[in-house]
Structure 1
Amino acid sequence: MCLAVPGKVLKIDNYKGVVEIGNMKREVFMHLIPDIKVGQYVLVHAGCAIETIDEEEAAKTLEIIKELSENEIC
């Protein structure tokens, strides 16, 4: 199963950028979304931003992921 995680674009430098996901910052490749802007939200999968997403949808998705991790049974 594959999962893309939403994050906010903080910095862009050519085809790499820094994305904030929750309280973590990650460097990701931005080449699949050449017209992306700082402040927008993207879905990140396997180290690549693959799609833009609006802020409301990003917040909903992060909340669902948080709930799932809190209810995980090991």
Structure 2
Amino acid sequence: MCLAIPARIVEKLEGDAARVDLGGVRKEISLALVDGAEIGDYVIVHVGYALSKLDPEEAAKTLALFEASGLDLQAIAEGSA
């Protein structure tokens, strides 16, 4: 199953790289496809790339839907789901 998951940017790294929080898991991703993403912003992440920015309210709704459906975001973020 492939999912695009909301994640919060917690650190900007060198170049287009950033570290995000995906359900408690920290991952390094690329921001190359998203202009103007900053620390604290939510982005939609798929296969290691941020695809777009997302407002915090929409991110919260999406994460709540994932949780309500029983998806284990931590396992998905770690690649074990």
State the TM-score bracket (shorter-chain normalisation). Answer: 0.7 to 0.9
Number of residues of Structure 1 aligned to a counterpart in Structure 2: 70
Deviation at 1:22, TM superposition (A): 1.6
Normalised by the length of structure 2, the TM-score is 0.78
Identity over aligned residues, as a percent?
A: 34
**Segments ≥4 residues shifted beyond 2 Å:** none
Deviation of 1:3 (Å): 2.0
Higher-strand-fraction structure = 1
Q: Deviations over 1:18-68 (max 9, x none)?
A: 011121111111100132111110000011000000001001101111111
Hey, what does 2:9 align to over in structure 1? 9
**Larger Rg: 1 or 2?**
1
Q: What is the RMSD of the two structures over their aligned residues, measured on CA atoms?
A: 1.4
The corresponding residue for 1:66 is: 67
Distance (whole Å) between structure 1 residues aligned to residue 59 and residue 35 of structure 2: 20
Gapped regions of structure 1 (runs ≥ 5) = none
> What TM-score results when the alignment is normalised by the length of structure 1?
0.85
Structure 2 residue ranges without an equivalent (≥5): 72-81
Alignment of 1:38-49 (within 5 A): 38-49=39-50
